[in-house]
């Protein structure tokens, strides 16, 4: 018989506990450094040195301002959202810093972007997001003209405080990339009940992974995170020549760029929950499954491309993947196990059917209804309550009983994608996404920034 607490660990994993504790250590470390600074002293931990193979900066870096940031937005048939996204970012950075690359768009994306007064180019054909970014970095000469480049999705709105929170992380000479803190646009009026369920499910995932995983994984003392999400991330332009942005056979680029940073020992990744940007998640279940397949396939393709090495990043990744596999298998089996245990309780005559009693006895030897209740259902509901408190949104509780079903779906998609990483190759070309027009009531454009204060 598997104890309920063992089942809970197997399903929800030890990574959240491990990196959550490291995150607490990061909070204590930060508080201690601030205590020293308030007394006019320099904390010993402030003495930083690049431990990687490359010293890419000859002088100690200063804090870059928004005028030093190039915003690069790859777009493919984004006429529905491109204007709103450009207006949101140009309220924070000068318009001449914004660069849009249209990757084979067949709609009015180029025309609308040009009308916003930003820099716009087009690829000769649809080469995919990674290919478009690579071409734009070269044609705009971003590495030679700017200190930092921000990769921004065409459906993403950056919060007014993003740069104020994120740019100070570059004061650490080891930090070469900064991951944004994602939130979903769940208040979109165009979302139906299923769309809102998906949005709340995604926000629950974002909250747990960012606060319990990424915050600890990006502590300067133990720095190893598996992804810098490409929706709103920043890189020092000095590392871009060392990163292969568009290797063949990958469906997405952000996993690969993160792996390149760590496996080539280019530096560290910074992250703060205060650097927030809002993005659109799929508005229906079909698009959600397609996106999950793409993300899962992209992860395993990148794992295949980058052999493990003897470093903290490879160890962290191995633990993460092993735990993901075990929890996914258990979650996929969960509905079958629950049905085998519940049905005989409701209909005792079912056990008289040939073969059913043997299956029931076998399953009951490993799990019981109380173990499922205390090891799976109640912990999942507790996570929902925690997220509701952190997000200050009681509405999460309304969808609480459905999140576990979506987790089962996520697990099935994750397992389904694994063989494809070795049996097929991807072109990286994207299909026209289903976008929703930005609601000006729920997603207002922030007021123009005071650039002189940066």
In this predicted model, what pLDDT tens digit does every residue of 102-121 receive, in sequence order?
Answer: 999 999 999 999 999 999 99
pLDDT tens digits, one per residue of 88-107: 999 999 999 999 999 999 99
Rounded distance between C-alpha atoms, residue 264 and residue 243, angstroms = 9
pLDDT at residue 173 in the model: 94
Task: Please list, in sequence order, all residues whose beta carbon lies within 8 angstroms of the beta carbon of residue 160, skipping any fewer than 6 positions away.
Answer: 91, 92, 446, 447, 449
CA angle, residues 171, 222, 147, in degrees to nearest 5 = 25
N-to-C CA span, the chain = 60
Question: Is the four-CA dihedral 249, 252, 255, 257 of positive or negative sign?
Answer: positive
Task: Give one word for 334, left, alpha or beta, with left for phi > 0 and alpha for psi -120 to 50.
Answer: alpha
Phi/psi at 54 (5° precision): -110, 135
pLDDT at 366: 87
Instruction: Tell me: pLDDT of 440 over 70.
Output: no
Query: Considering the domain boundaries, does residue 148 fall inside one?
Result: no
Q: For residue 448, what pLDDT is reported?
A: 37
Q: Edge-to-edge strand order for the sheet containing 232-236?
A: 119-122, 98-102, 69-75, 148-152, 232-236, 175-184, 268-279, 157-158
Q: How many CB atoms lie within 10 A of CB 32?
A: 13
pLDDT at 149: 98
What is the pLDDT of the chain when averaged over all its residues?
Answer: 87
Say if 9 falls within a structural domain: yes
Name the token pair of 95. Answer: 């318009």
Q: What residues have CB less than 8 Å from 40, skipping those under 6 apart?
A: none
pLDDT band at 444 (very low <50, low <70, confident <90, very high): very low
What span, in angstroms and rounded, lies between the C-alpha atoms of 23 and 42? 22
Indicate the pLDDT class of residue 14, thresholds 50, 70 and 90: confident
Identify the pLDDT of residue 404: 94
Q: Which of these ranges, 43-57, 231-245, 281-295, 341-355, has the smallest mean pLDDT?
A: 43-57
pLDDT tops 80 at residue 71? yes
pLDDT score recorded for residue 395: 87
Q: List the beta bridge partners of residue 73.
A: 100
Contact (CB, 8 A) for 327 and 334: no
Structure tokens at 261: 């940073």
Looking at residue 443, its pLDDT comes to 45
CB within 8 Å of 174: residues ≥ 6 apart: 48, 49, 50, 51, 52, 220, 223, 267, 268
Q: What's the predicted TM-score (pTM) here?
A: 0.87
In a domain? residue 374: yes
Q: What is the model's pLDDT at position 390?
A: 87
Mean pLDDT, range 56-69, rounded to an integer: 74
Residue 176 lies in a domain: no
How far is residue 113's CA from residue 253's CA, in Å, rounded to a whole number? Answer: 23
* pLDDT value of position 429: 75
pLDDT band at 47 (very low <50, low <70, confident <90, very high): very low
Distance CA 72, CA 182 (A): 18
Domain assignment present for residue 361? The answer is yes
Q: Which of 27-41, 89-103, 156-170, 250-264 has the lowest mean pLDDT?
A: 27-41
Tokens representing residue 203 in the block:
């926000």
pLDDT at 46 over 70: no
Mean pLDDT of 190-202: 88
In a domain, 379, yes or no: yes
Residues sharing a CB contact under 8 Å with residue 398, sequence separation 6 or more, in sequence order: none
Return the DSSP state at 193: H
Name the residue among 36, 54, 58, 57 with its Cα closest to residue 45. Answer: 36
| pLDDT score of 204 more than 90 | yes
| Weakest mean pLDDT among 11-20, 173-182, 235-244 | 11-20
Ranking 177-191, 218-232, 343-357 by mean pLDDT, the lowest is 177-191
pLDDT at 428: 74
User: Rounded distance, CA 438 to CA 80, Å?
Assistant: 8
| Strand residues in 262-401 grouped as ranges (E) | 268-279
**More confident: 380 or 427:** 380
Structural domain total, the chain: 1
Domain extent for 391: 4-15+319-423
Whether the per-residue pLDDT at 432 is higher than 70: the answer is no
Query: What's the CA gap between 20 and 213, in Å, rounded?
Result: 6
Confidence band for 433, pLDDT divided at 50, 70 and 90: low
């Amino acid at each position: 018989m598997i104890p309920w607490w063992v089942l809970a660990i197997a399903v929800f994993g030890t990574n959240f506990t491990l990196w959550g504790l490291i995150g607490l250590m990061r909070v204590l470390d930060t508080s201690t450094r601030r205590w020293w600074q308030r007394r006019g002293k320099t904390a010993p931990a402030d003495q930083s040195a690049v431990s990687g193979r490359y010293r890419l900066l000859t002088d100690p870096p200063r804090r870059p301002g928004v005028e030093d940031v190039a915003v690069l937005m790859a777009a493919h048939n984004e006429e529905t959202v491109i204007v709103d996204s450009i207006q949101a970012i140009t309220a924070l950075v000068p318009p001449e810093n914004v660069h849009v690359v249209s990757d084979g768009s067949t709609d009015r994306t180029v025309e609308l972007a040009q009308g916003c007064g930003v820099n716009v180019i087009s690829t000769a054909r649809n080469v995919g997001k990674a290919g478009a970014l690579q071409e734009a970095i070269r044609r705009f000469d971003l590495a030679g003209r700017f200190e930092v480049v921000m990769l921004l999705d065409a459906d993403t709105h950056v919060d007014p405080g993003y740069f104020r929170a994120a740019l100070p992380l570059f004061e650490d000479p080891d930090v070469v990339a900064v991951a944004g803190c994602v939130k979903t646009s769940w208040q979109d009026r165009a979302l139906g009940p299923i769309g809102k369920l998906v949005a709340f499910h995604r926000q629950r995932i974002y909250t747990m992974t960012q606060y319990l995983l990424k915050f600890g994984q990006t502590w300067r003392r133990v720095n190893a995170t598996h992804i810098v999400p490409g929706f709103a991330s920043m890189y020092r332009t000095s590392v871009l020549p060392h990163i292969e942005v568009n290797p063949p056979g990958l469906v997405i680029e952000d996993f690969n760029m993160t792996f390149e940073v760590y496996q080539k020992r280019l530096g560290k990744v910074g992250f703060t929950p205060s650097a927030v940007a809002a993005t659109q998640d799929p508005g229906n279940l079909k698009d959600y499954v397609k996106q999950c397949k793409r993300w899962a396939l992209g992860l395993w393709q990148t794992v295949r491309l980058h052999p493990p090495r003897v470093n903290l990043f490879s160890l962290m990744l191995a633990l993460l993947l092993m735990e993901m596999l075990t929890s996914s298998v258990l979650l996929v089996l969960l509905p079958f196990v629950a049905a085998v245990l519940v049905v005989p309780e409701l209909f005792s005559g079912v056990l008289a059917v040939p073969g059913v009693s043997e299956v029931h006895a076998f399953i009951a030897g490993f799990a019981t209804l109380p173990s499922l209740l205390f090891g799976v259902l109640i912990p999942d509901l507790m996570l929902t309550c925690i997220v509701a408190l952190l997000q200050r949104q009681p509405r999460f509780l309304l969808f609480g009983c459905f999140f576990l079903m979506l987790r089962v779906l996520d697990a099935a998609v994750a397992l389904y994608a694994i063989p494809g990483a070795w049996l097929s190759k991807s072109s990286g070309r994207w299909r026209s996404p289903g976008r929703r027009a930005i609601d000006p009531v729920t997603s207002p454009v922030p007021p123009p920034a005071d650039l002189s204060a940066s």
